[in-house]
C-alpha cells in the first residue's frame, strides 16, 4: 500500500504525525494508500521553507521565472496521461475527463508564461513639472492554497502557477481524499527548475487548514471547496488580516427555452449533469424547462441515459465513473428518497446500478427528478452527484427569478435560438459565469473564474487577470530627479489649481 506524504523544500517529507487518512480506488472500493495528516509543526516547516525561499525567488528575473514556467508547461503536456491515470485511480472520473482536467489546468500555466506582460505597471511622465509617477505590482510573500477533492490537479493549477509566477512562494493543502496528484505536480515543479521551497505541499485535514488560516507567516489564502468551509476559511483568514478568496459550492441552473433545439439541449444536460458523476462545481444540477418543453426533455434524457455506460474510469468505454467515497455515494443516493417524499417524481432511478465485476465500487447511475419545486431540499441543497432536477416554469422571467432567489450563483446557462432572450439572460441572470448554448461555461484561463453570492467569498475571482491582482499588491511611486535642490520647503500640498487662481486674480 502506498504512503502519500508531504513535499517540503524540494523533497518528499515523511510525516511523523500520528494521524493518517485512507485513500481508496472508488471503482473497486479497495484501499490503495495511506495519506499522512500534517501536524501544526509540519505545516510550520512548510511555511518556514517557503519563507526562506521567498527573498531569492522574488528577486529572480522575470526571464528566469518564465523559463521555468515554460518547462513546467512542457512537462505537464508530456505527462498528461500519467496525471490523468492518478486522478482516475483516486477520484474515479473517466480517463478522458481526467485528461481534460489536466488540460484546463495546463491552460493556466500557459497564461502564467505571459507573466512579464501581465506584471507591467503604468507610467506617467511629468505629472507635475519634472515629476513622474509609476505603478508596480509586487508579490505578497508566502501564499497558501486549499483545494477540494473533485479537481485534484486542475484546482491547484488554478492557483500556484500564477502565484509563483508573480514571485510568491506557495504552500498547497490538497484534499485528503485524492492526494497523490499533488505530489506528482510537486515533482514536475522541481524538475522544471523552480528552486526548493517555492512550491510545498502539506497533506491533511482541518488541523492543517486551521493552522494555515492563522499562521502569521502566510499572507494570502486561496480556497476552493464547499460553502460551509469557504465561509469558515474566509472569516478566519480575514480576521487574521490575510487576503482571501474562498470559492464555495453551487447549484447551477440550465434554462431551456421552448425554441431551443431539444436534441442539443438534452445532450448538453446529460453531459453537464452526469459528467464526472455530477461532482463538478459547474455541473448542471437544475434543468429549468420553460414554456412546456419539459416532457420532451425528459424523454430525450431518458433515451440518452439508457445508452450511457457507467463503469471503471480506466476503461475506455466508460462515460461516467463511480462517486468518490462510499459515504458520499450513500449521501447522494439518499436524495432520491428525500425528493420522492417531498413530492418529486423519479424519472430515472440510478440507485440499483450494478457494474459487472466491481460490486464494491461506489456506483450510482444517473438520476433524474421531475416536478421539483423550489421548497424541496433536492433543490435547495447542493447534492454534488449525478442527480439532475427538473423544474418547469412558464416564462423566462420565472426562470430568472428562480435563479435570483437561489442562494448560490456560480454558473448559469441558457439554451435558445432567440438572440434577444439570450442577451436578456446574460444581462439579468444572477451568476458569475454564464453560458449561452454552452452548458458548462468555465472561462478560459485568460478570463477569471468565480461565482456570486454563496459561491464565492472575497472580491477577486480565481486565475486570469483577477489572479494576478490577487497574488500581487500595488505600489505607486512619485519621483523627481530634476531641480531637486532648487525647491523651497512648503508645508502645503502642491496645488496647481491655486496657482491658476492667483494668475486669474492678478489680472483683475
Ligand atoms: P470540502 O469543503 O469538504 O473540502 C475542501 C477542502 O477543505 C479540503 O482540502 C478539505 O480537507 C478541507 N476541509 C474540509 N472540511 C474542513 C473543515 N471543517 N475545516 C477546515 N478545512 C476543511 O469540499 P470537497 O467535498 O472536497 O469538494 C466539493 C465541494 O467543493 C463542493 O461543494 C463543490 O461545489 C465545491 N467546489 C467549488 C468550486 C468552485 O470553483 N466554486 C470548484 C470545485 C469544487
440 lines ligand 1 (CB under 6 A): no
Q: What ligand 1 atom has the least distance to the C-alpha of 173?
A: 9
Q: What ligand 1 atom has the least distance to the C-alpha of 175?
A: 9
Give the CA distances from residue 193 to residues 11, 74, 169, 202, 248, in Å, rounded to whole numbers and listed in that order. 13, 12, 14, 20, 33
CA of 174 to the centre of ligand 1 (A): 10
CA of 148 to the centre of ligand 1 (A): 4
285 lines ligand 1 (CB under 6 A): no
Closest residue to atom 26 of ligand 1, CA basis: 148
* 143 DSSP assignment: E
Report the residue among 229, 441, 466 best suited for mutation to probe ligand 1: largest number of ligand atoms under 8 A from its CB. Answer: 229
97 lines ligand 1 (CB under 6 A): no
CA of 158 to the centre of ligand 1 (A): 15
With the C-alpha atoms ordered 247, 41, 160, 191, is the resulting torsion angle positive or negative? negative
What distance, in Å, lies between the first and last C-alpha atoms of the chain? Answer: 93
The Cβ of residue 373 has, within 10 Å, a number of other Cβ atoms equal to: 13
83 lines ligand 1 (CB under 6 A): no
Collapsing DSSP to helix, strand or coil, 152 comes out as coil
340 φ, ψ (degrees, to nearest 5) = -65, -40
Q: How many CA atoms lie within 13 A of 250 on its CB side?
A: 32
Nearest to 170 by CA among 195, 150, 147, 142: 142
279 lines ligand 1 (CB under 6 A): no
CA of 397 to the centre of ligand 1 (A): 33
Using an 8 Å Cβ cutoff, are 434 and 440 in contact? no
| Angstrom distance (rounded) from CA 471 to CA 327 | 36
Helical ranges in 275-418 per DSSP H: 294-305, 326-342, 377-380, 396-405
Catalytic residue from among 113, 166, 281, 293: 281
- CATH superfamily, domain 252-448, is Aldehyde Dehydrogenase; Chain A, domain 2 (3.40.309.10)
Q: How confident is the model over 226-282, as pLDDT tens digits?
A: 999 999 999 999 999 999 999 999 999 999 999 999 999 999 999 999 999 999 999
CA of 225 to the centre of ligand 1 (A): 3
Catalogue the E-assigned strands of 44-184: 123-128, 131-139, 142-146, 169-173
Calculated CA dihedral for residues 174, 178, 182, 187, nearest 10 degrees = 160
Task: Return the pLDDT at 486.
Answer: 63
Q: Where are the domains of the chain?
A: 2-248+463-473, 252-448
| Angstrom distance (rounded) from CA 122 to CA 448 | 22
Nearest to 212 by CA among 225, 221, 203: 221
69 lines ligand 1 (CB under 6 A): no
Collapsing DSSP to helix, strand or coil, 44 comes out as helix
CA of 479 to the centre of ligand 1 (A): 46
Collapsing DSSP to helix, strand or coil, 15 comes out as coil
The Cβ of residue 32 has, within 10 Å, a number of other Cβ atoms equal to: 15
Collapsing DSSP to helix, strand or coil, 139 comes out as strand
Q: 345 Cβ partners below 8 Å, 6+ apart?
A: 369, 370, 371
| Angstrom distance (rounded) from CA 249 to CA 455 | 5
318 lines ligand 1 (CB under 6 A): no
Q: 357 Cβ partners below 8 Å, 6+ apart?
A: none
Q: What ligand 1 atom has the least distance to the C-alpha of 248?
A: 41
Give the CA distances from residue 204 to residues 19, 49, 159, 201, 464, in Å, rounded to whole numbers and listed in that order. 9, 18, 18, 10, 28
CA of 417 to the centre of ligand 1 (A): 37
Element spanning 83, H or E: helix 80-91
Judged on CB neighbours under 10 Å (0-12, 13-18, 19+), 19 is: middle
Using an 8 Å Cβ cutoff, are 186 and 153 in contact? no
The domain defined by 2-248+463-473 folds into Aldehyde Dehydrogenase; Chain A, domain 1 (3.40.605)
Report the residue among 146, 226, 230, 329 best suited for mutation to probe ligand 1: largest number of ligand atoms under 8 A from its CB. Answer: 226
For the chain, the maximum distance between any two Cα atoms, rounded to a whole number of angstroms, is: 100
CA of 94 to the centre of ligand 1 (A): 21
Q: What is the CA radius of gyration of the chain?
A: 26
| Angstrom distance (rounded) from CA 496 to CA 491 | 15
* 488 DSSP assignment: P
Q: What ligand 1 atom has the least distance to the C-alpha of 228?
A: 2
182 lines ligand 1 (CB under 6 A): no
173 lines ligand 1 (CB under 6 A): yes
Task: Return the pLDDT at 489.
Answer: 73
150 lines ligand 1 (CB under 6 A): yes
148 lines ligand 1 (CB under 6 A): yes
Tell me the three cell numbers of residue 136.
508596480
Task: Return the pLDDT at 483.
Answer: 76
Q: How many CA atoms lie within 13 A of 131 on its CB side?
A: 9
Task: Return the pLDDT at 46.
Answer: 98
305 φ, ψ (degrees, to nearest 5) = -65, -30
| Angstrom distance (rounded) from CA 252 to CA 229 | 19
Residue 281 annotated in active site: yes
257 lines ligand 1 (CB under 6 A): no
pTM of the model: 0.96
b/e burial code for range 234-261 (CB count within 10 A of at least 16 → b): bebbbeeebbbbbbbbbbbbbbbbeebe
Using an 8 Å Cβ cutoff, are 161 and 69 in contact? yes
Collapsing DSSP to helix, strand or coil, 191 comes out as helix
> Residues in the chain with pLDDT < 50?
none
CA of 223 to the centre of ligand 1 (A): 8
314 φ, ψ (degrees, to nearest 5) = -75, -15
Report the residue among 171, 182, 225 best suited for mutation to probe ligand 1: largest number of ligand atoms under 8 A from its CB. Answer: 225
Amino acid at each position: 500500500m502506498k504512503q502519500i506524504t508531504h513535499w517540503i523544500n524540494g523533497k518528499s517529507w515523511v510525516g511523523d504525525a500520528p494521524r493518517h487518512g485512507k485513500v481508496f480506488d472508488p471503482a473497486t472500493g479497495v484501499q490503495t494508500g495511506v495519506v499522512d495528516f500534517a501536524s501544526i509543526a509540519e505545516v510550520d516547516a512548510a511555511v518556514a521553507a517557503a519563507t526562506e525561499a521567498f527573498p531569492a525567488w522574488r528577486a529572480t528575473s522575470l526571464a528566469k521565472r518564465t523559463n521555468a514556467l515554460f518547462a513546467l508547461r512542457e512537462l505537464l503536456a508530456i505527462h498528461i496521461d500519467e496525471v490523468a491515470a492518478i486522478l482516475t485511480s483516486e477520484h474515479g472520473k473517466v480517463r478522458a475527463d481526467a485528461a481534460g482536467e489536466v488540460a484546463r489546468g495546463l491552460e493556466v500555466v500557459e497564461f502564467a508564461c505571459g507573466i512579464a506582460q501581465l506584471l507591467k505597471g503604468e507610467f506617467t511622465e511629468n505629472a507635475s513639472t519634472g515629476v513622474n509617477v509609476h505603478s508596480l505590482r509586487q508579490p505578497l510573500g508566502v501564499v497558501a492554497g486549499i483545494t477540494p477533492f473533485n479537481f485534484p490537479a486542475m484546482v491547484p493549477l488554478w492557483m500556484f502557477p500564477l502565484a509563483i509566477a508573480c514571485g510568491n512562494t506557495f504552500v498547497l493543502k490538497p484534499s485528503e481524499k485524492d492526494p497523490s496528484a499533488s505530489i506528482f505536480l510537486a515533482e514536475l515543479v522541481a524538475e522544471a527548475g523552480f528552486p526548493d521551497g517555492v512550491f510545498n505541499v502539506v497533506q491533511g485535514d482541518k488541523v492543517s487548514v486551521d493552522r494555515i488560516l492563522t499562521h502569521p507567516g502566510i499572507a494570502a489564502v486561496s480556497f476552493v471547496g464547499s460553502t460551509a468551509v469557504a465561509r469558515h476559511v474566509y472569516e478566519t483568514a480575514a480576521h487574521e488580516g490575510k487576503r482571501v478568496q474562498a470559492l464555495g459550492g453551487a447549484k447551477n441552473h440550465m434554462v431551456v427555452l421552448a425554441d431551443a433545439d431539444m436534441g442539443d439541449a438534452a445532450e448538453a444536460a446529460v453531459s453537464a449533469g452526469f459528467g464526472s458523476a455530477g461532482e463538478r462545481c459547474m455541473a448542471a444540477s437544475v434543468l429549468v424547462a420553460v414554456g412546456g418543453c419539459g416532457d420532451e426533455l425528459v424523454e430525450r434524457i431518458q433515451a440518452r441515459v439508457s445508452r450511457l455506460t457507467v463503469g471503471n474510469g480506466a476503461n475506455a468505454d466508460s462515460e461516467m465513473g463511480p462517486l468518490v467515497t462510499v459515504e458520499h455515494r450513500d449521501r447522494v443516493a439518499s436524495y432520491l428518497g428525500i425528493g420522492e417524499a417531498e413530492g418529486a417524481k423519479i424519472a430515472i432511478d440510478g440507485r440499483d446500478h450494478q457494474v459487472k465485476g466491481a460490486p464494491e465500487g461506489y456506483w450510482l447511475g444517473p438520476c433524474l427528478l421531475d416536478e421539483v419545486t423550489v421548497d424541496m431540499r433536492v433543490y435547495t441543497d447542493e447534492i454534488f452527484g449525478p442527480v439532475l432536477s427538473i423544474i418547469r416554469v412558464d416564462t423566462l422571467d420565472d426562470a430568472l427569478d428562480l435563479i435570483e432567489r437561489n442562494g448560490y450563483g456560480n454558473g448559469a446557462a441558457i439554451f435558445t435560438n432567440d438572440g434577444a432572450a439570450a442577451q436578456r439572460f446574460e444581462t439579468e441572470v444572477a451568476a458569475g459565469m454564464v453560458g449561452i448554448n454552452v452548458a458548462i461555461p468555465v472561462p478560459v484561463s485568460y478570463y477569471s473564474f468565480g461565482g456570486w453570492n454563496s459561491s464565492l467569498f472575497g472580491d477577486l475571482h480565481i486565475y486570469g487577470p483577477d489572479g494576478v491582482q490577487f497574488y500581487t499588491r500595488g505600489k505607486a511611486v512619485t519621483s523627481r530627479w530634476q531641480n531637486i535642490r532648487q525647491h523651497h520647503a512648503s508645508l502645503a500640498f502642491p496645488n496647481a489649481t491655486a496657482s491658476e487662481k492667483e494668475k486669474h486674480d492678478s489680472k483683475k
